[in-house]
Amino acid sequence: LMPEGCRTEGDVREALRSAQLAAPMNGLTQAIYTNSSPLLSSMGVTGEDRAAATSPDAMMAFAQALEAHYRPAGEGKEAMSNEAANAAEGNPAGEEKKENEENSEQDTSGGEKKAD
């Protein structure tokens, strides 16, 4: 389902950072942070779905409303999934932050082993 010419993760990252996508993304971001109701309504998101968005951050609330709308029938109304929360925070995999924290802990020891 990748666009033609985007075969690797690097290709996708480059496409997402392109000038052709920058202006529409800025417009979308502005719409989300000023008043996302018309945008959500145009996507079929109901008032009930918007009410499920509890985050004070507009981007996170937008993601929560979308998640509430597209949640498969029968799933509970639990908090936003970790994957969706990480994506909304700009960390789609959620692992990069964890790996960086682990590497940071290792680096602070100065490479020396502690004596038992």
C-alpha separations of 15 from 1, 11, 83 in Å: 14, 6, 22
pLDDT band at 72 (very low <50, low <70, confident <90, very high): confident
**Residue whose C-alpha is closest to residue 80's, from 57, 107, 99:** 57
pLDDT per residue as tens digits for the range 22-42 = 999 999 999 999 999 999 999
- Tokens for 109, please give them: 């020891």
**pLDDT of 73 strictly over 80:** no
- Tokens for 105, please give them: 């802990």
pTM tops 0.85: no
Provide the pLDDT for residue 90: 57
What backbone phi and psi angles, to 5 degrees, belong to 46? Answer: -85, 170
- Tokens for 103, please give them: 């590497």
**pLDDT of 5 strictly over 50:** yes
